[in-house]
């Protein structure tokens, strides 16, 4: 007999570690998973932001607790994985961008973007992937970006890092699939978050982004939560190694001109 599809989205009794959930898309992801019943570990370097997210979840009747974590520190990441060996969901959202043309970047820019976006994801996937594989179950959701697929001037290092996240995601999906662990990437488009403040402060740049998508607008953070909940839950039990665009149709839309036809 087929299961009740609605029940497959239920995360009651499952622990979800959401890294980078003190603000932005990470916070929206944590709130969404809590709405579906998960016990959420709100992990962030920003302990005040993490506390705010915990408060929001608890005020809504959910269960959450904070966790200080630095994705650039392997020991911290490994300690978090040991502390939460029973986690069935890991969501990796931290991001950092140095918006400069390549000729203007420094090696410090390169190292920081790669260390947070790519190597930080690697550290978390490796540490939590090992415990999930040992437990025979789990879902890892990485955050790449539509910039993994298409770039613009000033996005080079970030785009390279996010493309690397996509490939790490595919690799771990193939390596841990038979051990009950699914691994998928989400590729957000133009979301209004602290990471896009620089664009918001430039009206021409901001409007150009809005007009490029098929929906002709920027996304709000909560609009990422449905994709996260789907990939975290049993509703996506046969989905692994995928790259889920949440981009308002950016990649589908040429965007240069709308002919009168």
pLDDT on residue 180: 98
Compute the mean pLDDT over every residue in the chain, rounded to the nearest whole number.
96
pLDDT on residue 43: 98
pLDDT on residue 28: 98
pTM over 0.75: yes
Q: Which of 74, 76, 69, 32 is nearest to 49 (CA)?
A: 69
pLDDT on residue 46: 97
Model confidence at 10, pLDDT cuts 50, 70, 90, reads very high
- Of 96, 122, 158, 209, the catalytic one is 158
CATH classification of 8-245 is 3.40.50.720, yes or no? yes
pLDDT on residue 24: 95
pLDDT on residue 50: 98
pLDDT of 167-194, one tens digit each?
A: 999 999 999 999 999 999 999 999 998 8
pLDDT on residue 194: 81
pLDDT on residue 200: 86
Greatest Cα-to-Cα distance within the chain, rounded to the nearest angstrom: 60
Model confidence at 157, pLDDT cuts 50, 70, 90, reads very high
Is residue 222 scored above 90 in pLDDT? yes
pLDDT on residue 225: 98
Active site residue 122: no
More confident residue, 196 or 206: 206
pLDDT on residue 255: 84
Contact 67, 49 (CB under 8 A): no
Is residue 199 scored above 90 in pLDDT? no
Burial (CB < 10 A; 0-12, 13-18, 19+), residue 90, is buried
More confident residue, 245 or 1: 245
pLDDT of 32-64, one tens digit each?
A: 999 999 999 999 999 999 999 999 999 999 999
Report, as an integer, the average pLDDT of 151-177.
97
How far apart, in whole angstroms, are the C-alpha atoms of residue 216 and residue 172?
A: 35
pLDDT on residue 4: 94
Is residue 234 scored above 80 in pLDDT? yes
Is residue 195 scored above 80 in pLDDT? no
């Amino acid at each position: 007999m087929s299961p009740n599809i609605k029940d497959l989205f239920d995360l009651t009794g499952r622990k979800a570690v959401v890294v980078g959930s003190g603000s932005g898309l990470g916070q929206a992801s944590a709130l969404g998973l809590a709405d579906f019943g998960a016990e959420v570990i709100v992990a962030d370097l920003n302990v005040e932001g993490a506390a705010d997210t915990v408060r929001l979840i608890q005020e809504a009747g959910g269960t959450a607790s904070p966790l200080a974590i630095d994705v650039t520190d392997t020991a911290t990441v490994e300690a978090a994985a040991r502390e939460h060996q029973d986690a069935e969901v890991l969501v990796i959202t931290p991001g950092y961008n140095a918006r400069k043309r390549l000729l203007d970047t420094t090696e410090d820019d390169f190292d920081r973007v790669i260390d947070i976006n790519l190597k930080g994801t690697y550290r978390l996937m490796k540490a939590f992937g090992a415990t999930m594989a040992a437990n025979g179950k789990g879902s890892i959701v990485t955050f790449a970006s539509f910039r993994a697929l298409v770039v613009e001037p000033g996005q080079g290092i970030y785009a390279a890092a996010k493309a690397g996240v996509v490939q790490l995601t595919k690799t771990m999906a193939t390596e841990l699939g038979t051990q009950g662990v699914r691994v998928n990437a989400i590729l957000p488009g133009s979301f209004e978050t602290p990471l896009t403040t620089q664009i918001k402060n430039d009206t021409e740049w901001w409007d150009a982004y809005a007009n490029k998508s098929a929906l002709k607008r920027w996304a709000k953070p909560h609009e990422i939560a449905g994709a996260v909940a789907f990939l975290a839950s049993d509703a996506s039990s046969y989905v692994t190694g995928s790259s889920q665009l949440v981009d308002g149709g950016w990649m589908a839309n040429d965007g240069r001109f709308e002919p009168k036809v």
